[in-house]
Amino acid sequence: MTTLRELGERNVIDEIVKTVGTRVFKGEVLSYPDDAKDLLPKAPRIIVNIDGYGIEKLRLPWRDSSDIGWCAITGSVSDILVKGGVPDAVLIALGLPPDYPVQELKMLAEGLRDAVNYYGVRLLGGDTNSSSEPWIAVATIGFTPAKKPPSRKGLRKDDYIVVTGVYGAMGFAAIKGLEEAQRRKWVVEKTKRPVANKELGVVISSNYRWITASMDVSDGLGYTLLTLSSESNARILLHQPPLYEPSLMDECQGDMECIVKIAMSGGEEYGAVIGVRPEGLSNVLRDLEYYQIPYRLVGRVVEGEPGVFYEDKPLTFASWDQFKGWSNGV
Amino acid sequence: MTTLRELGERNVIDEIVKTVGTRVFKGEVLSYPDDAKDLLPKAPRIIVNIDGYGIEKLRLPWRDSSDIGWCAITGSVSDILVKGGVPDAVLIALGLPPDYPVQELKMLAEGLRDAVNYYGVRLLGGDTNSSSEPWIAVATIGFTPAKKPPSRKGLRKDDYIVVTGVYGAMGFAAIKGLEEAQRRKWVVEKTKRPVANKELGVVISSNYRWITASMDVSDGLGYTLLTLSSESNARILLHQPPLYEPSLMDECQGDMECIVKIAMSGGEEYGAVIGVRPEGLSNVLRDLEYYQIPYRLVGRVVEGEPGVFYEDKPLTFASWDQFKGWSNGV
């Protein structure tokens, strides 16, 4: 088995670039292996993000190294999309052990390639390091024509709360455990390679006038709603669950409380929670439908202290903290 | 001793942002803790880089956690400067163990703050993860007015080779070992917080017409010269050593071969190697002097196969590979 020790540092990122490919757009000068890359703005406003991952932490039992490559790109790209950006390029930093098999590196690179192709971004370059625990960090650069990309802080009374995406698979794994989850085909299929909706950026940027706040669901829907509520200092009242996996109905034997709790837990769904002014709601929903982005209108912002309520009860969900582990949130 | 487990994931990046501070420029909308940040272009061309580090690998015996924060920013900013960019902002991804002391996190943040202030960049945000081996990745976004930022590939026959920076301290540690190095005040002082020259970006961007290639010295001067030579398919003939630490003269008892070998080895000096067309040399040197950037004209590009020669001998130096360790390169 060939390992990175034999391959050598400079060949690791080479191997990735060879698999993923790079693209230099007209007017750009620098290219891999230059240590920095130039790019020309494609819209008046740049949007950037960085996300890091412990590679083994992304490794659900049913995810191979290519899925992990996919997930790492998806997580960072999703943050750009939800702010109304069109992602343009990614940079990757990697930490891998010297005895890491080259075969696994190749698979990781294939997953990065699949994601880069799917999201229509390009790899600009990267950096490799030796690390006993493997890790990956992805920085994404995107552009938006929106004059005012939505922050987490903008929810106002009477806003409608729209949730895109379909929930429950990762929440099932979080609450029932990986062993149980592994036996559910629907959980495995849905969580192997989560997908962020590519057109969401266009919908958000073209409706920025009416979108008061937005945040992607990377750490669970319940956590996302609660964060938007506290950052915006606004109370969210939910009157409907988000779209959820049909199998959840059986798993919960039709108990709506069970369904909502599972749908609100989990993470890496990469849907979005969006606050919309009443006067813009029909435009936003029309655009979501045009791009066939699954969504549901789940609630509204109401008078009162920050907090998230489902009908008359405070929302409960399981939330993951990298340092503290799983906990049952408020 | 408080650890990150008690602090919790969301508070880790909070702690850093609190220490380092963030700045939102006029016209920008998003701010920490939004998962993405917007920025407006400050010059026609964007320049980006990512660099990652194993935190313990940056930890020379005489570097504390604040020095490591400094070094991580310096490494990424240096890549922007050497391409003629003015660094504007950084994004940080961190992996730290749950039992990492909060005290060390605070020191790391102080070093990040010192570097951010020194280089005049701002922290846009970041992401934290749990990792048994601590790591940090820094992505820098900069801008340049240069129509053609210099790549690694542009050296041409008759170019002058200019090396900025003063060499020998890290090479001494590489060749003589850390124990020996630790007893030399000049080595400790020079390598504790290496500094990239802030004005280098201005010199390079305003002379881009005559600068055919450039690369920063992050992996040792010998390696940098050799890489420029092979990427440019050009032979470099050196006739002078770069500027070197005066103490090296004593250490080598005046033996020039010893001095050159140590100066060519090492890494993290963050000087630059620049190829300059003869017709632009006086402009480049005048600007380097104006900004008081230490430099020496070390050689020229000559006819012949790629390779780096010091007078009539091929260059020798020690080079570090993350996966293979130290080796005596050609």
A227 and A300 both lie in a single domain: yes
A149 in a domain, yes or no? no
Structure confidence by residue, pLDDT tens digits, A166-181: 999 999 999 999 999 9
Mutate to test the interface with A, among B35, B81, B91 (most CBs of A within 10 A): B35
Whether chain B has a CB inside 8 Å of the CB on A230: the answer is no
Do A140 and A64 fall into the same domain?
yes
Contact list, A4 vs chain B (CB under 8 Å): 323
Using the beta-carbon criterion (under 8 Å), do B151 and A89 form an inter-chain contact?
no
Q: Can you tell me the distance from the alpha carbon of A164 to that of A10, in angstroms, rounded to the nearest whole number?
A: 41
Q: Cβ contact (<8 Å) for B91 and A8?
A: no
Q: pLDDT of A121-156, one tens digit each? A: 999 999 999 999 999 999 999 999 999 999 999 999
Per-residue pLDDT, B328: 64
State the average pLDDT for chain B: 95
Q: In this structure, what token pair is assigned to residue B176?
A: 């003589």
Q: Residue A151: inside a domain, yes or no?
A: no
Cβ atoms of A139 and B91 within 8 Å: the answer is: yes
- Residues with Cβ within 8 Å of residue B154, at least 6 apart in sequence: B212, B213, B232, B275
**Residues from chain A contacting residue B123 (CB–CB below 8 Å):** none
Q: If you write DSSP's letter for every residue of B83-127 in order, what string do you get? A: TT-EEEEEEEEEEE-TT-BHHHHHHHHHHHHHHHHHHT-EEEEEE
Q: Which helix (H) or strand (E) holds A160?
A: strand A160-164
Whether residue B225 is found in the same domain as residue B125? no
Does B149 map to a domain? no
* Bond from prior residue into B246 cis (ω within 30 degrees of 0): no
Q: Does A239 contact chain B (CB < 8 Å)?
A: no
A130 vs B contacts (CB less than 8 Å): 54, 57, 322-323
The rounded distance, in Å, linking the Cα atoms of A326 and A162 is 26
| Helix, strand, coil shares, percent, chain A, to 5 | 35, 30, 35
**Which has the minimum average pLDDT: A170-174, B44-48, B96-100, B315-319?**
B315-319
- Please, which residues have CB within 8 angstroms of residue B282's CB and are 6 or more apart in sequence? none
Check whether the bond before A241 is cis (ω within 30° of 0).
no
CA A329 to chain centre: 20
Distance of CA B45 to the CA centre of its chain: 21
Query: Do A138 and A182 share a domain, yes or no?
Result: no
Task: Evaluate whether residue B150 is within a structural domain.
Answer: no
Question: With an 8 Å Cβ cutoff, is B158 touching chain A?
Answer: no
Total domains in the fold of chain B: 2
Q: Give the residue carrying structure tokens 């008892």.
A: B253
- Which residues are CB-contacts of A23 (< 8 A; sequence separation ≥ 6)? A122
Give one word for A69, left, alpha or beta, with left for phi > 0 and alpha for psi -120 to 50. Answer: alpha
The separation between CA B127 and the C-alpha centre of its own chain, rounded to angstroms, equals 23
Instruction: Give the helix/strand (H/E) hosting B185.
Output: helix B185-192
pLDDT attached to residue A330? 42
Contact assignment for B35 to A216 by CB distance below 8 Å: yes
Which band of pLDDT confidence, cut at 50, 70 and 90, is reported for residue B326?
Answer: confident
CA nearest to A4 within chain B: B323
Put simply, whether A30 touches B (Cβ < 8 Å) is yes
Q: What percentage of residues in chain A have a pLDDT greater than 90?
A: 90
pLDDT over 80 at B246, yes or no: yes
Domain boundary residue, one of B144, B177, B204: B144
CB-CB neighbors (< 8 A) of B48 in chain A: 36-37, 39, 89, 91, 124, 139, 141
- Say yes or no for a CB contact (<8 Å) between A41 and B41: yes
Q: Which of B10, B80, B323 sits opposite A5 (nearest CB)?
A: B323
Q: Which is nearest to B114 in space by CA: B226, B19, B242?
A: B19
User: What interhelical angle do B185-192 and B169-176 show, nearest 10?
Assistant: 120
- The minimal CB distance from B45 to the residues A40, A125, A131 is found for A40
Q: Is residue B293 part of a domain?
A: yes
Distance of alpha carbon B41 from alpha carbon B23, whole angstroms? 15
B312 is in an annotated binding site: no
CA distance A296 to A163: 5
Angle, alpha carbons B324-B195-B142 (nearest 5°): 90
What number of residues does chain A have?
330
Q: Does B26 touch chain A (CB under 8 A)?
A: no
Residue B42: pLDDT band with limits 50, 70, 90: very high
Contact B92/A at CB under 8 A: yes
Q: Residue A190: which pLDDT band, with cuts at 50, 70 and 90?
A: very high
Q: Which of B13, B296, B67, B59 is nearest to B167 (CA)?
A: B296
Query: Worst-scoring range by mean pLDDT, A214-218, A321-325, B306-310?
Result: A321-325
Q: What is the CA radius of gyration of chain B?
A: 20
What span, in angstroms and rounded, lies between the C-alpha atoms of A180 and A178? 5
3-class DSSP state of B46: strand
B99 and chain A in contact, CB less than 8 A? no
Model confidence pLDDT, tens digit, residues B19-34: 999 999 999 999 999 9
Residue type, A72: A
CB contact under 8 A, A80 and B5: no
Nearest beta carbon to residue A83 from set B30, B137, B141: B30
Output the CA–CA distances (angstroms, integers) from residue B290 to A129, A266, B161, B202, B310, in the order listed: 37, 58, 19, 11, 29
State yes or no: pLDDT of A327 exceeds 80.
Answer: no
Domain range for B28 is 4-144
A 202-221: CB under 8 A from B: 215-216, 218
Across the interface, which of B7, B36, B47 has its CB nearest the CB of A48?
B36
Q: Is the pLDDT of residue B330 over 50?
A: no
- Among A2, A276, A31, A320, which Cα is nearest to A163's? A276
Residues B72 and B177 in one domain: no
**Partners of residue B155 in chain A, C-beta under 8 Å:** none
Domain co-membership, A222 together with A94: no
Least confident of A7-21, B130-144, B219-233, B310-324: B310-324
- List the CATH number of the domain containing A298: 3.90.650.10
Radius of gyration of chain A (CA): 20
Q: Dihedral of the CA atoms B68, B72, B77, B78 (nearest 10)?
A: 80
- A328 confidence band (pLDDT: 50, 70, 90): low
Do B167 and B316 lie in one domain? The reply is yes
Write out chain B residues lying below 8 Å of A132, CB-based.
Answer: 132-133
Q: Is A126 annotated as belonging to a binding site? A: yes
B136 and B172 co-located in one domain: no
CB A126 within 8 A of CB A78: no
User: Residue B216, annotated ligand binder?
Assistant: yes
Rounded distance, CA A288 to CA A65, Å? 32
Whether residue A185 is found in the same domain as residue A283: yes
- Reply yes or no on whether the pLDDT at A207 is more than 50: yes
Angle, helix B9-20 to helix B102-119, in steps of 10 degrees: 40
Residue B154 predicted with pLDDT over 80: yes
Q: Which residues pair with B130 in a beta bridge?
A: B96
Among all chains, which residue has been given the structure tokens 């002058």?
B160
Residue A114 marked in a binding site: no
* Residue from B57, B74, B127, B327 whose CB has the most chain A CBs within 10 Å, to mutate: B127
Residue % of chain B over a pLDDT of 90 = 90
Answer yes or no: is A153 within a domain. no
Residues A186 and A127 in one domain: no
- Within a domain: residue B301? yes
Output the domain CATH number for residue A89.
3.30.1330.10
**Residue A57 and residue A130 in one domain:** yes
B213-234 residue pLDDT tens: 999 999 999 999 999 999 999 9
Note whether A85 contacts B: Cβ–Cβ < 8 A.
yes
Contacts of B80 (CB under 8 A, 6+ apart): A36, B47, B48, B49, B86, B87, B140, B142, B201
User: A189 and A116 in one domain?
Assistant: no
Residue A100 forms part of a structural domain? yes
Q: Is B45 annotated as a binding residue?
A: no
Enter the ipTM. Answer: 0.95
DSSP state letter for B278? G
Q: Are A244 and A168 in contact (CB under 8 A)?
A: yes
The model's pLDDT over B161-194, given as tens digits with 9 standing for 90+, comes to 999 999 999 999 999 999 999 999 999 999 999 9
Query: Three-state SS for A11?
Result: helix
| SS3 call for B77 | helix
**Domain end marker among A144, A168, A184:** A144
Q: Is B52 on the interface with A (CB under 8 A)?
A: yes
Percentage of residues of chain B with pLDDT beyond 70? 99
Mean pLDDT of B8-15: 88
Rounded Cα distance between B58 and B73, Å, is 12
Of A110, A144, A178, the residue that ends a domain is A144
